[in-house]
Structure 1
C-alpha cells in the first residue's frame, strides 16, 4: 500500500504550470458558485414547491408558503422567538468572480455581483435602489420637461396646440408599449444589459430630438426617447423585487418611486428655465446629458441582480454517421446542406417570434382578475395626473394668470411635493399594515414565521386614498375655473399628489408579488395600461378644457375615478385571495 500511496502522491508534488493553476482556480470558483447557487435557490423555493401563494418571513427573504400549519403552541412560540433572534443576523454574500459576472461591461462595475441578491448589505441595497430611482426619473423627466415649452414649439413650427401635444402623447404611447419587450428581454438577458442598451438609445434619440427641423421629426424622435426611457419603469421594479424581501419591499418600492415622481417635480422648473433662457431645444440637450450620466452610473454601480439559473449539461457529441470515403457521402452532404438551410430558416422564424411576438404574451396575465383590477386601480389615477399636467400648462399660461414659462414650471411643484410625502409616508404605512394584518390573523407557518398576503396592502390606506385624491382633483379644477389665487389649485394638486401616490405604490408592489417568478412582467402590463390612459388624457385634455372648462372636466374625472377605484378596492378585498390562488395555479402550469 505504501508504494501505491507514494505513487499517487507524486503527481501532486509536481510544480504545476500557470495554465494548470488558472484552470484549477477557475474550476474551484465555479464549484463554489454552483454550490452557493443551489443553496440559495433551495432556500428561496422550498416553500414555493411545498405550498402555494403567500409570503412568509425567513433568513433568506420572504418565501412563498401556504397558510398556517397548526403546531403545538409551546413549540410554535419557541420557534417564533428563535426566528426573531435569528432575523437580526445576515448571511454573508457569496461574491461572483469578476470574470464570471453577467451583463454588458460587467467587468467595470464597482458593486460586485453576488449569488443571492437578498444577501446584499442594506446599505448596498439602498445604493442600488437609489441608482435605479435616478434612472427611472428619466421617463417622466422627458415628458414633463416639455410642458412649459409647448406654446413656444407650436409657434416655432406653426402648428396647433393639439398637434404639439402629440409630442407628449406619442411619448406616452411609446412608454406604454416598449416596456413589454424590455421586461421580456430582461428576464432572458438580465437587467443590467437592458438598462445599458436602452439608455444608450435614450441619449441618441434625445440628440436627434434636439436637431429636429419640423414637428413630424420631433414627434418621431420623441417616440424613440419615450420607448428607450421606459425600460427602467418595468425592469426597475423587477430589480427591487430581486434584492428586497417582501416584508421590506413596500418602503423600498416607495423609495424607488421617488425617482419617477421627483421627475415631474423638477422637470417643469428645469424646462421652463431652459426654454426661457436658451429655447426649447436646450431641454432635449439636457436630456441627452442626463442620459449620459445615467449610463455611467449604471456601468459602475449596478450589478446583475436577476436570479441565476443552473446551466444545462451540453449533449455529448455525436459520432459521424458516415466517413468521407463512403460512396454515399456526396449525396448525404447535399441532403445535409438542404437540411441545414431549412434549419437556419426555422431558427430565423423562431428568433422573430421570440423577440417580436412572444413578449406580447405577457398581456395574457390581464385575464386574471387580481392583475386586471390592480392595473385598473392604478391606471385611472395615473391618467388623471396627466390631465392635470396639461391643465397646468394651458390654464396658467393664459388670462387671468398669464404666467411666463418659468412660473408655469414652478406650479408643478405642489403635486411633486405631494408625491414625495406620499412616497415617504405610504411605504412605511404599507409595510406596517401588511405585518399588522398577518399578526391579527395569527398567520404563521410551521417555522413560526409571519405569513403575508399581497391583499394585506389594501386596507384603510386604500379607502382613504381613493376617497381623497378625487377631492383633490375637484379642488384643483374649480379653483382654476374661477381664476382663484394660485395657492388654492396648488393645494388641490398637493392633496392629489399625496393620496394618488398611496395608490401607485400599493398597486406596483402587489403586482410584483402576484407574479413572483417574473416580477417585472406585472409592472410592464401596468405601465402599458396606465400610459395608454395617460396618452388619452394628454390628447383629449386641451380640446376638452376648451369645450367645458376645467371645473367640469375635473368633476367628471373625479367622479369616474372614485367609482372605478371604490369598485376595484372592494373586489380585491372580497375576492382577492380566492382569485390569487386560481391565478397561481394557472401560472404554475404555464410559466
Structure 2
C-alpha cells in the first residue's frame, strides 16, 4: 500500500525513513518481507508493513496517527481520572487520604521512569510488539486493581498500570517520526498531542461521574475497557513502522547470554539518559518539562480553588472548568502544527537550502521562530492572569479565559519541543521523547505534591506569579537555541554518522 509523495523536502541529518532519493525508488513502496514484519498477530493488521513507512498514503498516515493518539491518552487519563475517587477509596479500604494519594504518586513516578525501557525495547524489537505487550499489562493491572481488597494491592496495581500506560506517548512519538516526513511532522505531532493533553482535562469529569454513579472500582474497569479498545485498534490498524530495528548499539555479539540479557533489560534503557549531555536535547527537555510542571500546578489549583469559597462548585462542575484549557490545546493543535511546518518551509526557502534534487533542506531550529516567541509570552501571561483572578475570587469566566490562553501557548511549546526531539535524534526518535517524559513527569510529580501546600501558604496569586516569571526567564532557551542551533546540529550530525 503506498501513495506518491511530493519531492520537496529533505532533512539536514539522515531521517529514519531513508533519504529522499531512496524514497523515490520502488523499494520504498515495497511491502516488507514476512521475516522482517512484527510477528505478533501481524496478520490481523489491515495495513501492510512498508520498507519505507513514510510512503504510506495520507489516509493511512492519519489512521496510524489517530491510533497512537488514542494510545497516548491512556497514561495521563489514568492519573487524573482517579482524583475524584480518592475519598471513596479511603473509606472503602479504611486508610488515610495521605496513603491513598500514593495511588496517584506511584503512578506518575512509574510514568517517569518506564518510558526509558519502552523506548529502548521499541527501538530494538519494534513499535507494534511493545505497544501490544504494554497495553495487555495495562488491562491486567486495572482488572486486578478493580478487585483489590487492600490499599497495598491497589497501590501495586497502580504502579504497574502507570508503567504500562507510559508506552503510549513515548512509542507514539516514535511512530510519528517513522511515518511523517519533517515537512509534515508538525501538524501530525499536533494531532498526536491532542490525546495526551486533553485526556487529563476530561478524565476528572469521567471519574467523577463513574464514582458518583457506582464507586471507585468502576473507574478501573473503565480503564481496562479503554485499554482493550486501544489494543484492538493497534491490532487492526497499526503496522510495524520501525523497519531498522534490532541492531541498536551492538558492536559485536556478546558471548555470555546472561550478560547480553542484562544489557538489553537494564543497561540499554539507562544509556538513553546520556543524550541529556547534548545541549539541544537538554535545553528542549528543560523548557518542555518546566511547562508541563506548570500545567499540573494549574490543574491541581483549579480542583483545589473552585471547590471552596467563594465558588463552591461540585466535582462535576469543577471538571467542566477544564474545557477552556482543552479548547486552547485543540486550537493550537490544529493551527500550531501547520504554522510550524509553514515556518520551516519558509526559512529553508529564505536561506536557499536545497539538496541536489531541488528539495528543501530543513533544520530543527527552523521551528523556533515567531510561533515559539508567541507561545513563550502567552502561557506565562495565562499563569499570571489565572493566578490573581482566582486568588481574588473574580467571577469564574475570567480565570477560565486565562486557562484558554495558557493551553494555547503551552500546546505550541509541547508540539514544537517533541517534534524537535525526534529530529535531534533521527535514528532513535523515541529516545528523545522518553527522556522528555522522564524529566517532565518527575517535575509534574513534584508540582502535584507542592501546589496545594504553596497555595495554602502564599495563595494562587503569588504562586503563579513566581511560575510565570520563571517561565519568562526560561524562554531564554529559545534565543540560545536559535543562536547556537546550527553549530550544535552539525555536532549531532557528526555523532550520528559515526555511531
Structures share fold, TM-score greater than 0.5: yes
Match of 2:478 in 1: 569
Q: 1:397: how far off?
A: 2.0
The 1:290–1:154 alpha-carbon spacing in structure 2 relative to 1, beyond 3 Å, is same
Given that 1:249 and 1:509 are in contact with CA atoms closer than 8 Å, whether structure 2 keeps it comes out as yes
Q: Are residue 581 (structure 1) and residue 495 (structure 2) matched? A: no
Q: Are residue 460 (structure 1) and residue 370 (structure 2) matched? A: yes
Given that 1:91 and 1:119 are in contact with CA atoms closer than 8 Å, whether structure 2 keeps it comes out as no
Given that 1:61 and 1:118 are in contact with CA atoms closer than 8 Å, whether structure 2 keeps it comes out as no
Q: 1:62: how far off?
A: 5.5
The 1:157–1:365 alpha-carbon spacing in structure 2 relative to 1, beyond 3 Å, is same
Q: Are residue 375 (structure 1) and residue 311 (structure 2) matched? A: no
User: SS state of the match for residue 114, structure 2?
Assistant: helix
Match of 1:514 in 2: 424
The structure having more radius of gyration, on CA atoms, is 1
User: SS state of the match for residue 169, structure 1?
Assistant: helix
Match of 2:392 in 1: 482
Q: 1:259: how far off?
A: 1.4
Uncovered stretches (5+) of structure 1, i.e. residues with no partner = 1-35, 37-42, 65-85, 312-342
Match of 2:235 in 1: 299
Match of 1:257 in 2: 193
Match of 1:327 in 2: none
Q: Are residue 197 (structure 1) and residue 106 (structure 2) matched? A: no
Match of 1:3 in 2: none
The aligned runs of 1:99-114 (5 Å cut-off) are 101-114=37-50
User: SS state of the match for residue 549, structure 1?
Assistant: helix
The 1:185–1:220 alpha-carbon spacing in structure 2 relative to 1, beyond 3 Å, is same
Given that 1:103 and 1:192 are in contact with CA atoms closer than 8 Å, whether structure 2 keeps it comes out as no
The aligned runs of 1:73-92 (5 Å cut-off) are none
Taking the aligned partners of 1:126 and 1:567, their CA distance within structure 2 comes to: 35
Q: Are residue 420 (structure 1) and residue 356 (structure 2) matched? A: no
Match of 1:386 in 2: 296
Q: 1:161: how far off?
A: 4.8
Q: 1:494: how far off?
A: 1.0
Q: Are residue 124 (structure 1) and residue 124 (structure 2) matched? A: no
Correspondent of 1:278 among 214, 227, 232: 214
Q: 1:230: how far off?
A: 0.7
Match of 1:235 in 2: 171
User: SS state of the match for residue 137, structure 1?
Assistant: helix
The 1:575–1:162 alpha-carbon spacing in structure 2 relative to 1, beyond 3 Å, is farther
Q: 1:119: how far off?
A: 1.5
The 1:150–1:412 alpha-carbon spacing in structure 2 relative to 1, beyond 3 Å, is farther
Taking the aligned partners of 2:99 and 2:490, their CA distance within structure 1 comes to: 47
Uncovered stretches (5+) of structure 2, i.e. residues with no partner = 248-253
User: SS state of the match for residue 101, structure 2?
Assistant: helix
Taking the aligned partners of 1:361 and 1:99, their CA distance within structure 2 comes to: 29
The aligned runs of 1:176-215 (5 Å cut-off) are 176-215=112-151
Taking the aligned partners of 2:301 and 2:201, their CA distance within structure 1 comes to: 16
